[in-house]
Structure 1
Amino acid sequence: MNAQTPALMPDFADLLLDAVFMVDVLGRIVYVSAACERIFGYTPGEMIGRELFDFLAPEDRATTRDEAKQVMAGYPRIGFENRYVRKDGRRASIMWSARWSEADQLRIGVARDVTKRKHAEAMQAATYAISEAAHTAGDLVALFREIHRIIAELLPVAGFTIAMCDAHTGRLAFPYPLDDQADAPAEQEAIASRMCTDVIGSGQSKLLHHRSPAALSDASASSGGSASWLAVPLFSQQGAMGALIVKSRAGTFYTEQDQELLQFVSTQVATAIERKQLHAELLRMAQYDALTGLPNRRLFHDRMEIALARNRREQKRVAVLYVDLDDFKRVNDLLGHAAGDLLLQEVSRRLTQCVREEDTVARLGGDEFVVLLEHVPLPGDAAIVAEKIRSAVSQQASIDGQQLRMLPSIGIAFHPDHGDDAEQLLKHADKAMYSAKTVKVRGSE
């Protein structure tokens, strides 16, 4: 090494892709190479004299302080990773090699930018996590909550929402909140709604921030101008199904790289939502009657078994009402099955209005319905409900311009009086219903 070598060291350091730091015992930066501007966004002049911790991400300060103590105690550290806040507000992931110079009383460290590698790892992890969430989330809201958490690990997110678009009406719904802490929630929702409309209509993502104020109305610029908004469309196999919108933290602005990232993630999100919607629809079809929307026989049995188990513990009465429409076949024969379907839907609506929210009305098939009444104090209470049903169903109904009047036959069974399980109670109520129907037929002869 000749006499010129020490003088040339700063020039050599400035050629490195990694940034070289020298930090004194008080944590102040006394030297940093030129690579700091590419990695952190600050020039050497902006960093020298300041504490290195001033640039550190708050959540990494405790672990970094411990690492610094180890270095100053004479233990070199290689491969330690932490995060810093760049000048533009974004996070930079750094891998360090550091040692302590006792003679100079300085920490000497080399900072390698591993942001892209960490980003790629995070993207891979996000793809897997979103796919897993589609299988494990109990419902759509739970799925949205998990997607929110996953995306917040990729981007600085202050607000997050998913908008769903009704394929038939085009109406937007926001099933997951944007920003519960927003100072002006109405204005925030207005911005999100406009962005949703734009990205769903165009099929293209959209990025807004304070450098494009013309994109926002004057009314919303004051609240939306200090942060970025990023919206990407969500596509199903049938077309645009909605949009995903994120709002950055105050003073932090999204970039085109963030836009590309969210577009990539949106594909996984849309697939997860579509899968969850399909699962929910299959579950609904398995448990609910397609014509009336009432619980079907299977779901009614499930609810009945739960009610009976609770009734055994609480020693209270449960009633089952079996409802059959007299001469319903005549409606189908005279007016057609379409009119018969409309009549069944109207009967379903009336039955539901006759019971409490905690009770269950189900369609077993054809013109047969059952009602589960829980917590029935006296047998006469079930008879009152039966009479209410009889009166409601017997009212005339206007179907395809025809005034129709149906008379129901109703049978009642009680637990534990008429059986200890769902099957026994249904059989008893069915038998009681046919007895009531027979009495009416004989009375009309």
Structure 2
Amino acid sequence: MLLAAAADGVHVLDHDGRLVEMSDTFAEMLGWSREALLGQHVSTWDHSDSAEHLTERIRSFPLGERTSFQTRHRRADGQVIDVEISRVALTIDGRWLLYCASRDITRRLELEAQQTAMLDNEVMGILRLREHRVVWANRAIYRMFGLPDDASLEALAPQLAPEALDLTARLEARRSDLLAGRPVRAQLQMHRLDGSPIWIDIQGTRLSADARDTLWVLADISALKRYQDEIEHLAMHDALTGLPNRRLLEDRLGQGLALSRRDGQPLAVAYIDLDGFKGVNDRLGHAAGDLLLQDAARRILEGVREHDTVCRMGGDEFVLLLPVLRHEEEAELIVQRVLQALRRPYSLAASGAVHVTASAGLALYPLDAHDGEALLRLADAALYQAKEAGRNQLTRWGRPEARQDQPGPGPETEDADGREQPAGR
């Protein structure tokens, strides 16, 4: 169960290079169903070498050794994706197995390539300052700050010394470095003539012994900053739904607990799992399953407060982080509101209306646990209790009774794969 819900594309190969187990994420990444992939040779998706050579390389991999590398995989639709793989060979019950964790890094490599191309072609601006005044600037400086080429140096000065950011004063603060002959470098946010922000990477050196005469090279790194922000976003968010991933959740959970300890307010963690999602995915296909997950993510976001965090853990499992609660019962009210929203019919294009419900498990700080790991574990255990009790309900850790505000999604009930069924079936 843990392997199936892993966030990365975990897959296990035997000594002959055949797939014996995988996470749902791995099947989604390749666009295949689990049934189609199980038992297939690694060459089905890895075309980096012949099937024979791939098998030889797998068989020669030393036990216990961990390695990481980049390669390319071919999806079911023929699309080639870049992946980063970590692997280790182990023996389980006397059987040799190669455990691999794959991550789709196609978008990341594209962004890195764009960054490299941008930097290789950047037009540098050059400034010469004497006694804090601009005495010379190349044309790139004028373009950088949105000034016409025939503008005077006096027109450039206000862009370099607005009230909130006096460039020459900031550079003067580094005068000791300049006097010592050490180059000075900084990244500053400034503004163009039209008021739009611009990020500048500036490097300077002295032209005179007393550092009154200096030369500065400026690069517009606004695009680089945007790419860095996007890469950071990709590292912290789920690609399908745009929700925070486990890495960002753990960071916010730590912050939330610190705030709760300081202010004495309760905090809650809730696991939510869609009932019947696998049946919808198998019956209608991965594209419909993706649409359902995206719609479910939107509904969850609409049901929580602005400062709450909604995370996708992988598959059809979500986690809610509910800090700064007025009272413990507020957490139950929020989760019940989310479950109610998830019960509404889903319109999946030509597939028509599809009903799924959701189960939830809830744990609270400080009532149930005092650290983030324990809260997540107890909320997951409470979710399991809700599933065992019949699904479509909320269970709070430590309470034997399940909380269910209504018996089903409406006048029609659902079977295990999300199909509509007449009431009373």
When normalised by structure 1's length, the TM-score is 0.42
Say which structure is richer in strand. 2
Greater C-alpha radius of gyration? 1
When normalised by structure 2's length, the TM-score is 0.44
